[in-house]
């Protein structure tokens, strides 16, 4: 079985640390990658963190994950609320899927309250800041084994 967890990030998250820090904090996606890799290593797992501003690229990575990943952690960003195509792609993946939102989306505008991706997600983290990613990886480490 693959030992890699794909950590996929949607649009604008390349600007994490610079983008609306009052909502998303000052840490960057590189910090997320480092934190997740350290937690995964505790369980003998690896992480592969990617970010794209393009829906189709994220879908291609989910298809790739079917062959190469044990689990997916995904923050689809704004595509959370719009993308049936990402939901359909996730429905082709057989391993665990954890949805992460840095902010507590349910406290925010009503259009952020609905997630297409949640129709597939096995667990959802929202409002833990970037810590949500590492918590998701820890849960996968504990449940997938190392």
Provide the annotated active-site residues.
24, 101
- How far from 103 is each of 1, 2, 21, 107, CA to CA, in Å? 33, 30, 11, 9
Nearer to ligand DQA, 77 or 144 (CB): 77
Summarize as ranges the residues that interact with ligand DQA (CB under 6 A). Answer: 12, 75, 77-78, 80, 101-103, 105, 112
In whole angstroms, the minimum distance from the beta carbon of 144 to ligand DQA comes to 23
The residue (of 12 and 28) whose beta carbon lies closer to ligand DQA is 12
69 versus 77: smaller Cβ distance to ligand DQA: 77
Least separation in angstroms between CB 29 and ligand DQA: 11
């Amino acid at each position: 079985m693959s030992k890699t967890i794909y950590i996929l990030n949607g649009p604008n998250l390349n600007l994490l640390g610079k983008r609306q820090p009052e909502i998303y904090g000052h840490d960057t996606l590189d910090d997320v990658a480092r934190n997740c890799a350290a937690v995964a290593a505790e369980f003998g797992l690896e992480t592969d963190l990617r970010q794209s501003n393009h829906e189709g690229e994220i879908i291609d990575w989910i298809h790739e994950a079917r062959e190469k990943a044990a689990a997916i952690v995904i923050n689809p960003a704004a595509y959370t609320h719009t993308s049936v195509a990402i939901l359909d792609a996730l429905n082709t993946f057989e391993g665990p899927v954890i949805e992460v939102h840095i902010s507590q989306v349910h406290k925010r505008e009503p259009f952020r309250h609905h997630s297409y991706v949640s129709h597939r997600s096995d667990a959802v983290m929202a409002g833990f800041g970037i810590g949500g990613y590492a918590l998701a990886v820890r849960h996968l480490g504990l449940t997938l084994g190392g």
